[in-house]
Structure formats: structure tokens, C-alpha cells
């Protein structure tokens, strides 16, 4: 059995997501082509040389980290070799994710004429679901009487709650009845099962163009918008963290930075000072050492 198959079986045994397994297998295949030697003879230097090669090709920090983690798993879990390597180029630049303003969300949704498509996008935004979580929703995952639904085996193979917007309950319930869906049905189905993520990406792309939004909007942009708007509406970090399914509050903290200071009632300390605006008209005695008179 080759090393790629060994790694795949080990990851499946540990219940890794299929997406991670696919990514790690891709990285390992690229590495083995570069290394061109029996996998039992692979050394730490081979790994370092490969990562250096990725840097020379100007690969992003996030890409390098995926390759690093894949090779770390190979060395430690498959080859049982000690793997300690420090690299300074592994950091991913901290770029704030794109989000829409509340008015832009309204414009986006209103630009969609197909009722089913509009319902999907409204549910995506109102719940903060990831696109793959939306397409995998089943009727039995919704508990209308309790105002929430369930994400089953989401990211990290975890179940979590998501809120169902009050304004969406009747529309969603009527849609299920109209489509005559049973409890085990996908909510948004197609001929071959559930609707594809690609279809939803196209819906968002067309809606963005029609709404004339000058932003590169993806389905995940709605999740970022949902989290940012929750913070702006005054909900605490722990609540937002739980709804998003984040393991660490550090991940959720980014939405604090994205939220509008005005909407989260944060004011500059300067606004608490009453400053004389017309310094030139003050008498000499009225002027303090800093050139500004403070009025208590």
C-alpha cells in the first residue's frame, strides 16, 4: 500500500473531514513528486527544501501552512518520526474579511426574483450558515416551535444550533409544504440529491451584479455579514462565537474589528471633551499652555 493511501486511511480512521483529506493528499502528492525518493527515506531536510521551494514560488502563507500540516501528519503519524521545524514564513497576513452593510444585504436579496433562490440566500444570511451546511440541511433539522435548527456534522464534525429568523419561519414552512418534502428530504433539493454549492455561488454572483454592488461577494460573505451585524446589534462575543461554531473566541474577535463603532455605541474619548472651537478669539489670559481651553 502506498503512503498516500496509508495517510488517507489513517485520516478516515480519525474522522477527518473529506475536504481536509483531499487537501492533505494533494499536498503529499506534490511533495512526493518533488522529493522523488522512497517515503521511508524522507527526512526533515526534504520537507524544509520543499517548503522553501513554495516560498520561492510566492505561495501564500495559508497555502504553505496547509502543506506544512500535511507533511507534519505524514512524518509524525505515518512515518513515526520526530518532526520539529520552525519556519518564519508560515504566518498568514491578517486581512479583515469582506462583509456587506445592512443596506447592501437588502439590495442583494431584493435583486433576486426567483422565490426559491431568494429563500436560500435569506436563510444563508439570517442563520450565518456555511454554504455546505446550507445544502446539507434536511427538514428534520428544523425545529420551528423552538426557533432554531441544527447543523449536523458541520466543520470539525460538530453539531450546533442556528437561529431561525422569526420573519422567515412562515415562508420556510410554506415552502416545505408546497414542495411536499418529508422529514428526511433535503430542504433545497435537485434531481441528483441536494442543490450544489456551485449553484448557490452562481445565484450570489448574479445577484451581486444585478444589485450593482462594487464588492466581490461570495456566499461566505453573508456569514461574515451576519456575524458583523450581530455585533453591531449589541450581542456579546460569546453568543456570536456559539452561533458561528468557533472553537476559540479569538476567531470571533475579528468581527469586533469589522463592526461599525457608531452602531456598537463606542465613542472616541475626544467626544467627551468640550473644546473651545475659536482659539483665535480667546484673550491671552484665557489661553492655556497647550493652546486649547477646556470647559468643564
Dihedral sign for Cα atoms in the order 16, 132, 68, 71: positive
287 is catalytic: no
37 is catalytic: no
> Which of 206, 220, 235, 293 is labelled catalytic?
220
Which cell numbers in the block locate residue 228?
458583523
> Which of 67, 130, 160, 194 is labelled catalytic?
130
> Which of 72, 102, 155, 206 is labelled catalytic?
155
89 is catalytic: no
| CB within 8 Å of 149: residues ≥ 6 apart | 127, 137, 141, 142, 143, 161, 162, 164
Three-state SS for 189?
strand
246 is catalytic: yes
Alpha-carbon distance of 204 to 217, in angstroms, equals 7
| CB within 8 Å of 180: residues ≥ 6 apart | none
Per-residue b/e over 87-108, b at no fewer than 16 CB within 10 Å?
Answer: eeebeeeeeeeebbeeebbebb
> Which of 160, 194, 224, 246 is labelled catalytic?
246
> Which of 16, 50, 125, 255 is labelled catalytic?
255
Alpha-carbon distance of 103 to 24, in angstroms, equals 40
Q: Which strand (E) or helix (H) includes residue 62?
A: helix 61-73
Contact 89, 58 (CB under 8 A): no
Which cell numbers in the block locate residue 198?
456551485
> Which of 8, 223, 224, 229 is labelled catalytic?
223
In the chain the first and final C-alpha atoms are separated, in Å, by 80
223 is catalytic: yes
255 is catalytic: yes
Q: What is the largest CA-CA distance in the chain?
A: 90
Residues assigned a catalytic role: 130, 155, 220, 223, 246, 255
Amino acid at each position: 500500500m502506498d503512503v498516500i493511501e496509508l495517510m488517507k486511511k489513517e485520516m478516515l480512521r480519525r474522522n477527518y473531514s473529506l475536504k481536509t483529506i483531499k487537501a492533505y493528499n494533494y499536498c503529499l502528492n506534490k511533495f512526493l513528486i518533488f522529493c522523488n525518493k522512497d517515503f521511508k527515506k524522507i527526512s526533515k531536510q526534504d520537507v524544509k527544501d520543499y517548503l522553501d521551494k513554495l516560498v520561492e514560488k510566492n505561495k501564500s502563507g495559508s497555502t504553505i501552512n496547509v502543506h506544512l500540516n500535511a507533511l507534519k501528519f505524514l512524518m509524525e503519524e505515518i512515518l513515526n518520526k520526530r518532526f520539529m521545524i520552525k519556519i518564519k514564513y508560515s504566518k498568514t497576513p491578517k486581512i479583515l474579511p469582506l462583509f456587506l452593510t445592512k443596506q447592501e444585504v437588502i439590495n442583494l436579496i431584493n435583486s433576486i426574483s426567483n422565490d426559491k433562490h431568494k429563500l436560500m440566500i435569506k436563510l444563508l444570511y439570517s442563520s450565518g450558515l456555511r454554504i455546505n451546511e446550507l445544502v446539507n440541511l434536511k427538514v428534520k433539522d428544523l425545529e420551528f416551535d423552538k426557533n432554531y435548527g441544527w447543523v449536523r456534522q458541520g466543520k470539525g464534525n460538530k453539531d450546533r444550533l442556528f437561529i431561525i429568523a422569526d420573519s422567515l419561519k412562515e415562508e420556510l414552512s410554506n415552502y416545505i409544504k408546497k414542495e411536499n418534502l418529508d422529514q428526511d428530504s433535503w430542504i433545497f433539493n435537485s434531481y441528483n440529491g441536494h442543490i450544489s454549492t456551485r449553484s448557490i455561488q452562481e445565484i450570489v454572483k448574479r445577484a451581486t451584479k444585478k444589485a450593482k454592488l462594487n464588492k466581490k461577494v461570495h456566499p461566505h460573505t453573508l456569514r461574515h455579514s451576519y456575524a458583523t451585524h450581530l455585533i453591531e446589534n449589541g450581542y456579546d462575543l460569546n453568543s456570536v462565537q456559539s452561533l458561528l461554531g468557533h472553537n476559540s473566541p479569538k476567531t470571533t474577535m475579528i468581527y469586533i474589528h469589522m463592526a461599525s463603532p457608531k452602531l456598537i455605541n463606542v465613542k472616541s474619548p475626544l467626544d467627551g471633551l468640550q473644546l473651545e472651537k475659536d482659539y483665535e478669539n480667546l484673550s491671552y489670559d484665557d489661553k492655556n499652555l497647550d493652546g486649547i481651553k477646556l470647559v468643564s
